[in-house]
Amino acid sequence: MSHSPCRCGSGKRFADCCEPFLLLQSRPKSARALVRARYCAYACGAGTYRDFLLRTWHPATASRVNPLDLTNDSFRWTGLDIVFAEQKGDRARVEFKAYFTDPAGKAHLHHERAVFQRHQGQWYYLDGEVRDLDATTGSPALP
C-alpha cells in the first residue's frame, strides 16, 4: 500500500503523503493536511487507524466520540474534495466533501464545515457542521 497513490487524492504516493501521519511518525503541518490524513484514515480503515483519529480529536470534544464507532468500516470511501481552507493563527476552518457508498452500494456525500485548533504545534479537529447528502441528488440523505 505504501507505493500506491494516497487515498486522499493528493496525487502523491501514500508513503510520501498520509502514511507517516497515520503511523504517528509525523504530524500534519496544516489543518488542510489533517483533513486529508483523517479522510485517508477512514478510507483505509478507521478501525486500523483509530489511534490516529483519536489523537487528532481535540480534547475538548473528544469525549463525545465513541471509539467503537471508529471500528465501523462498512462504508467505502471514494473521494475527497476540499472546498475551502482558511487559517488565522492557531485556528482554522476547512470545508470539505467526502464521498462514500454504504453497504448497499448507495452513494452518499458527507459535506462538512470543520473547525481546527493548533496546540503546541499539533493540529486537532475541534468540531464541525455536517450535512450528509445523497450523492446522486444533492438532497439531504434520508435515514
Considering the domain 14-134 in this protein, what is its CATH number? 3.10.450.50
Q: CA 72, 76, 78: angle at the middle one, nearest 5?
A: 140
pLDDT in tens, 32-49: 999 999 999 999 998 889
The reported pTM is: 0.87
127 bridge partner residues: 115
What local confidence, expressed as pLDDT, does residue 42 receive?
A: 93
> Hey, where are the domains in the chain?
14-134
Q: Grade residue 132 by pLDDT with cuts at 50, 70 and 90.
A: low
C-alpha cell at 97: 466533501
pLDDT in tens, 39-91: 999 999 988 898 899 999 998 888 888 877 777 788 999 999 999 999 999 99
